[in-house]
Amino acid sequence: MTGQILSRFSIHTPEGVTFSLRLAGPVVRSLAFFTDMAVILTITKIINLFGGFLGVISPDVATAFSVLAYFAVSMGYGFILEWALNGQTLGKRLFRLRVMDAQGLALSFSQVVIRNLLRLVDALPGLYLLGGISLLITRKSQRLGDLAASTIVVWSPPMAQPDLAQILSGKFNSLKEHPHLCARLRQKTSPAEADIALSALIRRETIGPSERVELFSVLSGHFKEKIPFPEEAVFGLSDEQYVRNVADVLFHPVNRLSR
Amino acid sequence: MIIDLSRFIENEKPFWTELETLLDRMERDAAFRMDVRGLKRFHYLYQRASSALSRITDVSSEKNLKIYLESLVGRAFAEIHKQRSRFTFGNPLTWFLRTFPRTVRKHAAALAVSLAITFAGCMFGAFAVSMDPDAKESILPFAHLMGDPAERVAYEESGKTDRLSGHKSSFSSQLIANNTRVSVFAMGLGITWGIGTFILLFSNGVILGAVAADYIMAGQSSFLAGWLLPHGSVEIPCIILAGQAGFVLAGALTDKRRPVSLKQRLRDAGPDIVTLMGGVALLLVWAGFIEAFLSQYHEPVIPYAVKIGFGSVELILLILFILLGGRPTKETAP
């Protein structure tokens, strides 16, 4: 049950594809939980407001209604919403969390019910202590309810498709005037090195000015050492421009500008 | 190999967008169904996204694109392999009258363990109080049970006013909520390999045995039976059934005789646990109602014979229901 705690959970599909899901940590899960608690309290308040009208007929019936309403909402909120919204409550949806089967399959109704019923045990002896400890020590960050139901909670961070056009296209690349060197550069550069260059370019605006100069100086030095280009190809290029041209060579093997 | 990332995205993006739109619709609307053509297209899009993910994984660690594709493939994988039809309540009446008793019988060993632990607790509680009457102060958690049973009976039977007058409904609702919580605990503590369920059932049994011994030794057997039987004949079996669900969970955690993974054992046990707890919840509504509206009234308001008779009939019906409910009839037997 315990061991190295994972931040990502890999699933191997029968098609031979491996994908990983980012497991939700205690902080983001707590935030979703508190949001859900606020929603439960709001729903209960609203129901009690209507139940108050029953007090005109019978205060006893109004109290019974309130007790049962709170009980039904607090017990039923989780499994009704997680079932209806495919593993999400309002809090989970807000924080981009989703309950999934531990094998990557969709949730079954019984899993949803069991993980929510076991909240009572997770809450023991108070303040979700058992569930919190379980979350911290289990490999897949599972509370007891998740263990019993064989579920995990995954976090899908906001996703943006990379816009390479802005950083790589439409600019003259002097390195591409030497196709044989470009071919050698592509051959000698590992995917990891290529990604470092690309990541640096994508994130360049988020780096401080001095760090940015230093980073691109190191990177250009590295690529210059790997495949030296003639002086006329690199004349007047800043380190950052050099790295941009290298990334362009690596990720745009066909020189569309020269065609 | 280094791929032309922007061209790759340009070519594949329409397929990813189509898959994402389909997934959004599926996740938004649980009742959404596709025809065969739609399913084939969905499967094609899934395979195409999987293939793109494979290429991206091999050639580049461009994080956003990889996370995006992993999310798409993961969501599609879950949709393709989901088993929503595996557990449904179907017709609620059929589910309660047939599926529930069948499920109880299916896990007869877990029921026997649950029953035996409760019985052992009763015996222990009764023995402790009969040996040392002062022990009840340590055993019983309720203040109104601490005093002399004869005094309480005299007080209850002399009551000229209805002490629950104006509070019956709220008392009933509190009982339903509280008993359901205890049942959920009995089931949920199965996650502690059954140890928690064992402790809860045994301690419940100890309290029951201690109260019973206290009243019997004080010569108040009729009051005791009249007080406990109407609601206890349903409420106590419910706790035992919830304990059974806890042991089914514990069994799934510990039973390594079957050559299946822990995850699969838990998935297999899940529908039965939910069925048991669903049945228990329904029965507890009845028990809570009876406890508030019948059990708290004693002679001379309601003769003990009536209450004992009512409780006994309930118990017999419940046992028959569990033993015979959902059995194949001559028409349905193979």
Distance of CA A67 to the CA centre of its chain: 39
DSSP string, B147-158: S-HHHHHHHHHH
User: What does the pLDDT average to over B51-77?
Assistant: 75
Residues B170 and B290 reside in one and the same domain: yes
Residues B73 and B99 occupy one common structural domain: no
Let me know whether B20 and B151 are in one domain: no
Which one of A113, A137, A155 terminates a domain? A155
In a 3-state reduction of DSSP, which class is residue A215? helix
CA B230 vs CA B159, B178, B223, B280, B306: distances in Å: 20, 18, 12, 17, 10
Per the model's pLDDT, the better-predicted residue between B312 and B166 turns out to be B312
B85 inside 8 A of chain A by CB? no
Beta-carbon contacts of residue A191 (< 8 Å; ≥ 6 apart): B1, B2, B58, B59, B60, B61
CA of B174 to nearest chain A CA: how many angstroms apart?
7
Q: Which residues of B touch A189 (CB under 8 A)?
A: 2
Q: Is residue B329 a part of any domain in this protein?
A: no
Q: What's the Cα-to-Cα distance from B44 to each of A168, B18, B19, rounded to whole Å? A: 32, 11, 9
Q: In this complex, do B61 and A195 lie within 8 Å of one another by their Cβ atoms?
A: yes
- Point out the residue among B62, B68, B262 whose CB comes nearest to the CB of A198: B62
Residue finishing a domain among B64, B82, B100: B82
Residue to mutate among B169, B192, B253, with most A CBs inside 10 A, is B169
Q: What is the predicted pLDDT for the residue at B9?
A: 80
Cβ contact A168:A245 at 8 Å: no
Chosen domain end from A119, A135, A155: A155
pLDDT confidence of residue B282: 94
Angle at B29 between CA B24 and CA B35, to 5 degrees: 85
CB-CB under 8 Å, A118 with B188: yes
Tally of domains within chain A: 2
Residue B46 lies in a domain: yes
Report the pLDDT value the prediction gives residue B63, as an integer from 0 to 100: 62
- Asked if B78 and A64 come within 8 Å (Cβ–Cβ), the reply is no
Residue of B nearest to A113 (CA): B274
Say yes or no: B124 and B74 in one domain: no
| B195 interfaces chain A, CB cutoff of 8 Å | no
> What pLDDT was estimated at residue A148?
95
Tokens 């005037």 correspond to what residue? A177
B113 contact A CB<8A: no
Q: What is the mean pLDDT of each run of 10 residues along chain A (259 residues)?
A: 64 78 89 95 90 81 87 91 88 91 83 95 90 91 94 78 59 83 82 82 84 91 89 86 86 50
Q: Are residues B58 and B180 in the same domain?
A: no
Shortest distance, CA A192 to any CA of chain B (angstroms): 7
Residues B66 and B100 in one domain: no
> For chain B, how many structural domains are there in total?
2
In a domain, B333, yes or no: no
pLDDT of residue B164: 63
CB of B48 within 8 Å of a chain A CB? The answer is no
Residues 29-88 of A with CB under 8 A from B: 58-61, 63-65, 67-68, 71, 75, 83-86
**A186 CA: distance to closest CA in chain B (Å):** 7
The answer to whether residues A180 and A129 belong to one domain is no
Q: For A138, which DSSP code?
A: B
Q: Is A2 part of a structural domain of the chain?
A: no
Q: Please judge whether B177 and A71 are an interchain contact, meaning their C-beta atoms are less than 8 angstroms apart.
A: yes
Which range of residues forms the domain containing residue B42? 5-82
Q: Where is A97: in which H helix or E strand? A: strand A97-101
| Statement to judge: residues A24 and A79 lie in one domain | yes
The two tokens of residue B182 are: 């205890």
- Give the per-residue pLDDT at A1: 44
- Can you give the pLDDT at residue B125? 94
Asked which of B82, B116, B132 is the last residue of a domain, the reply is: B82
Chain A interface, mutation test: which of B57, B68, B274, B289, most A Cβ atoms within 10 Å? B274
Per-residue confidence (pLDDT) for residue A189, from 0 to 100: 83
- Report the pLDDT value the prediction gives residue A134, as an integer from 0 to 100: 93
Does one domain contain both B146 and B225?
Answer: yes
Q: What is the pLDDT of residue B293?
A: 81
pLDDT digits (tens, 9 = 90+) for B140-199: 877 767 778 888 888 877 766 666 666 777 888 888 888 999 999 999 999 999 999 999
B320: which residues sit within 8 A by CB, 6+ positions away?
Answer: none
Give me the residues paired with residue A11 across strands.
A19
Chain A positions touching B74 (Cβ under 8 A) are 11, 19, 21, 100, 104, 154
Kindly list the residues from chain B whose CB atom is less than 8 angstroms away from the CB atom of residue A168.
Answer: 6
d(CA B157, CA A224): 100
B170, B270, B274 ranked by CB distance to A63: nearest: B170
Distance CA A168, CA A257 (A): 12
| CB contact (8 A) between residue B6 and residue A252 | yes
- The Cα of B234 is separated from the nearest Cα of chain A by a number of Å equal to 20
Q: Over chain B, what is the mean pLDDT? A: 86
CB contact under 8 Å between A17 and B73, yes or no, is: yes
A238 and A189 both lie in a single domain: yes
Domain that holds residue A93: 8-155
Q: In sequence order, what are the beta bridge partners of A100?
A: A152
Q: Are B187 and B284 in contact (CB under 8 A)?
A: no
User: CA-CA distance, B289 to B14, in Å (whole number)?
Assistant: 60
Last residue of a domain, one of A123, A155, A187: A155
In a domain, A3, yes or no: no
For residues A5 and A139, is the Cβ–Cβ distance under 8 A? yes
Mutation target to probe the A interface, by most A beta carbons within 10 A, among B6, B22, B103 is B6
Q: Do B155 and B21 belong to one domain? A: no
Report the pLDDT averaged over residues B288-295: 84
pLDDT at B61 (0 to 100):
45
Q: Where does a domain end: B19, B48, B82?
A: B82
| Residue B259 binned pLDDT confidence (cut-offs 50, 70, 90) | confident
- A226 and A103 in a single domain? The answer is no
Q: Is A229 within the bounds of a domain?
A: yes
Residues A33 and A134 occupy one common structural domain:
yes
Residues 154-183, chain B, touching A (beta carbon < 8 A): 166-170, 172-174, 176-177, 180-181
Q: How far apart are the first and last CA of chain B?
A: 63
With pLDDT > 90 as the criterion, what percentage of chain B qualifies?
Answer: 49
Report if residue B331 sits inside a domain: no
Question: How far are the Cα atoms of A125, A200, A201, A204 from residue A208, in angstroms, in the given order?
Answer: 48, 12, 13, 8
CB pair distance less than 8 Å for B82 and A100? no
